[in-house]
Chains A and B, each alone.
Chain A
């Protein structure tokens, strides 16, 4: 079964909730377009700085947009395309799926073939 991880951003949580509420269902209320929605919220741009005792010295800087990941059971829903974003596939939320990870990375490199991620420099022993 092909499952796709796709990442989306909304202006705020209310906008995300509105889009989620409009995900299509059948007559019995079941999703007619298989999906698992994970609300990531306002992601950390700069992590908090803590002291030696764990006290917060500098608060984290959070994104101004609200992030949502969707694990689509088939093709991603076209009506969500206007919210889609393509962060570099490293150190980001995942659905713990090898095949979906590889699909996302492959699609990312098709979309951004000149990115550093898709063209990492060779490294040799000094």
Chain B
């Protein structure tokens, strides 16, 4: 048989496109089998893309990002002439800013407050091209504390300055264009942004400008054009995350519960947020995101470390610390600490890996996150620190705020199918899944708890597999059983239902059966959460979902579920 041909609903992340709010099934083709997807978090959600790199939700906080003649931008002692030359994207949209102030006076193209009144690490970037003069200045000003960068065209050099500056970069493009960026740690809500400043230059100096971007990031990311609203890209608020972690060639749909990263600076290790003892850090190395936003940790003495201890967390609860690391130099022991300050030895390679250490917090509300190097002179790369409540790490949640914690809301997948998709008298629900965490439920129901079949996975129980059915509001059976199954590993599971014949198949074997009971009626939807009460959403990775409207034979189910 062809399982695809016989299925009434088929969802494969590798073949199913997703968009904000939708995860498309490849069958049925009329759209009735598509899932509704919601999360409500973009800036806290990440995935590993097909290129193996971490992808984030991104946002350009500036409006009118290539329309500097708009009144959104101020022009101080300078004139702005729109659309004067070809921009880096090939369009005639690059503007010319011309200095009208005297020598040693400032002409400024700027966006004054309120831009985006937030604090923490921000990166400002803009494309510039030389016209008349040799310098242009970029500047983030936060109540007088600046992060500035002076770029010199003739030497193609950029010089970061200011008390808030973290880094500055200049990337040469074609046709004389450069993309400049300056990264700073903004500490006050009262701040302004100099798009381009001509300073200490003669009158009539001028520079072409295009494509300004301000983002909460430790490095400039791909430019996002904006007009009347901020621009978003990458992971949007309700984008399903098709994840390629661990070098997977085919993606799985990542469904996770809500988690909060209590680390205020998850990437910026250079400031005072992280304590360094017997060690220092160097910025500007390529991270698992593919950007220059990783740090190198260098032990200047034995047992050097980088440390964050802070409040508040919940006392006597499971927490998991995680961080991306790779070795650069040396052979000495590397350690990380659990939230309760217990030491865990870890073994690094010269490839990026994510390490995690779980533990139960003590009676205080102070957490610890520390990376230690036993041997002076050893060097490692560090990126993406996270501390979250739970006994395992979830996908990386970036945080650049410095003070605030950030929560990624839970992924919710539901709403696929209608009364024509499902056969209430017989059928099969098949799942190909991995990395199932916590308790996870999958149901086909009539959108109530009166009629349903359900698979309920619980990796915390000695009886990890539970299945049950209800018909007309009457429970037909509710069976859980002992079974040797590591639900964190890939496995295939199918629930077959027909009158007086219900069975569960796991990895090619009939694991359990119930030979009595009526089937539910009016089945109309498939949901990846428990229809009884909140909190039991499916938490794991989905590789395939199939629904059949016939009760497959034993041999068919054995073949279907063989891994």
Contacts and interface: CB of A to CB of B under 8 A. Distances in A.
A118 B314 CA distance: 34
B165 interface: no
B509 to A, nearest CB: 33
Interface string A33-75: 0001011111110011010111010001010000001010000
5 contacts: A41-B314, A43-B312, A93-B260, A95-B407, A96-B45
Interface string A82-126: 000000111111111111101001000000000011101111110
Contacts of A89: 117-118
Interface string B498-512: 000000000000000
* Max chain B Cβ within 10 angstroms of own Cβ: one of A28, A48, A99, A120: A120
Interface string A1-30: 101000000000000000000000100111
Most A-side CB within 10 Å, residue of B38, B118, B531: B118
Contacts of B545: none
Interface stretch (B81-89, B128-136, B244-252, B396-404): B396-404
B72 to A, nearest CB: 14
Contacts of B230: 98, 102
B190 A95 contact: no
A33 to B, nearest CB: 11
B312 A93 contact: no
Nearest to B118: A90
Interface of A: 1, 3, 25, 28-31, 36, 38-44, 47-48, 50, 52-54, 56, 60, 62, 69, 71, 88-100, 102, 105, 116-118, 120-125
Q: Which of B397, B404, B531 has the most CB of A within 10 A?
A: B404
A71 B311 contact: no
Contacts of B531: 28, 30
B231 to A, nearest CB: 10
A-B complex: 4 closest residue pairs judged by Cβ atoms: A96-B44, A29-B533, A120-B113, A91-B403
What is the size category of the interface that chain B forms with chain A?
35 or more
B123 to A, nearest CB: 17
B108 A125 contact: yes
Nearest to B534: A31
Interface string B376-415: 0000000000000000000001000111111111100000
Given A28-B533, A29-B534, A125-B108, 9 more contacts: A25-B534, A42-B311, A89-B118, A90-B117, A95-B409, A97-B40, A97-B237, A98-B42, A102-B230
B365 A93 contact: no
B224 to A, nearest CB: 12
A25 B531 CA distance: 12
Contacts of B118: 89-91
A36 B114 contact: no
Interface stretch (B3-11, B191-199, B344-352): B191-199
A121 B407 contact: no
A120 B38 contact: no
B194 A125 contact: yes
B321 interface: no
B521 interface: no
Given A1-B38, A125-B106, A117 B189 contact: yes
B342 to A, nearest CB: 15
Nearest to B402: A91
Contact of A41 (B59, B307, B312): B312
B40 to A, nearest CB: 5
B40 A1 contact: yes
A98 B113 contact: no
A118 B114 contact: yes
Q: Which of A41, A102, A123 has the most CB of B within 10 A?
A: A123
B88 to A, nearest CB: 25
A3 B305 CA distance: 41
Contact of B190 (A28, A94, A99, A123): A123
A2 B278 CA distance: 49
Interface string B182-193: 000000011110
A105 to B, nearest CB: 7
B309 interface: yes
Contact of B310 (A1, A25, A44, A122): A44
Interface string B525-551: 000000111100000000000000000
B405 to A, nearest CB: 5
Contact of B191 (A52, A60, A123): A123
B449 interface: yes
A124 B76 contact: yes
Contacts of B532: 28-30
B237 A54 contact: no
Contact of A123 (B43, B112, B405): B112
A39 B35 CA distance: 30
A122 to B, nearest CB: 5
B120 interface: yes
A77 to B, nearest CB: 15
Interface in B202-240: 230, 232, 237-238
A117 B114 CA distance: 8
Contact of B192 (A116, A118, A122): A122
